[in-house]
Structure 1
Amino acid sequence: MHYSLGLVVILALVCFANCKPNRVPWWQIKVAKSQGPNACIVEEVPDLSKKYYTECKYWPVRKVCGRETIVRYECCEGFKQVPGEEGCTGVKALKNVLEVSRDFGATKFVKYLEDSGLGHELTQEGTYTLFAPTDQAFESPSGQIVGMKIESFLTPGGENPVLRYHISDKKYLSKDFSGNNEIKSLQIKNYDGRQLRISKYSIGVGAI
């Protein structure tokens, strides 16, 4: 069985920060160093169901939307804990982009991909970056409009320009972006592929 090597980028608020130990209290640095290999920070905003992930272990406790965040550690994506060993030294089985999208709460978007026939294409050998809206994103007024546009093109064969606008056939990482970036979406017959704009602001917020 072949698996797609892809990066799923969830269309939600994503925060980035420079990894600067001098911004973090000494005791937090000590705790971070004790986590072992492949441990990543998860920053949560209480009562808002918002989580921000970073591979930087030296992450300062801060406020988001006026609320202090809670910082904890989890295994980085693709790794797991092994009994008796520090950190996350075990490697999880590879998943394709559809499985990863479901894990991040984009089940509705995955269903659209499967119904259009694109789901099969994305599980074949190849490299893809999928910009997948979460189920929560589809509940907003603008998300409902996008959902209706997707459904209007929803016929077997995968020739759905709205869905393909969320896919690139190249691998991208969030750290590769800075300022305003444009990448080309997946092409189809009689459709050249549109540019997808990704902005990464100096205040540390990324938008797609």
Structure 2
Amino acid sequence: MHFLVVEDTDDVSEAITERLSRGGHICDRAVSLEDAKHFASASAYDLVVLDINLPDGSGLDFLKWLRQRKDAVPVLVLTARLAVDDKIGALDFGADDYMVKPFDLGELEARVRAIVRRRSGEAGARLSAGNLEFDMATRLATVNGEPLQLTPREQVLLEIFLIHKGRVLEKDELVTRLFGMEADAGPNAIELYVGRLRRKLCGADLEIRTLRGLGYQALSPTSKMVAR
């Protein structure tokens, strides 16, 4: 998935980015309020990790800016402040969760997974579509309990389709979510990875449809009935 880390302290930003990248996610890094707005205006994100204390303003101003634009991207706020009012303010402005510095990177990663699961409508640690299950923590995908041999990018692509079941995803959006904003990859790379993933999902209750001129749509048995 595609994450934006808004943090001006280099060692903290690098640690977060490295930890999330190890899980197969693509992370863009912004060091200021201005940078964060630039990134958010240019790309869609699956989640934002947002520090409150930025050199050119408060991260809460960025959060308010996002919500005023009707951008519902999940936001995990980081703060060195302990005041209850600050935490309440972050949640009232539309944050999905918050963590107080210093924090454990393992807990941050777990909270990120929990936020993404809640936004996708899944209560447990796994994303599912009929006989297909994907464990967001272990990155293991199974069909009828049998493990699938997926590459890291195929894991991320499957995760994206499961989170956005039923939604039409444009190729350009998938390029950004899978490779990041500065990658040289294009729509042909997405076609290649979707083709590989389809072959490996043979027998799974998830169909990835190609909608000419639009992009791709992943449908499970339940969403197929709704689509009809």
The structure whose residues are more often strand, as a share, is 1
TM superposition score category, shorter chain reference: 0.3 to 0.5
The structure whose residues are more often helix, as a share, is 2
Structure-1-length-normalised TM-score: 0.33
Structure-2-length-normalised TM-score: 0.31
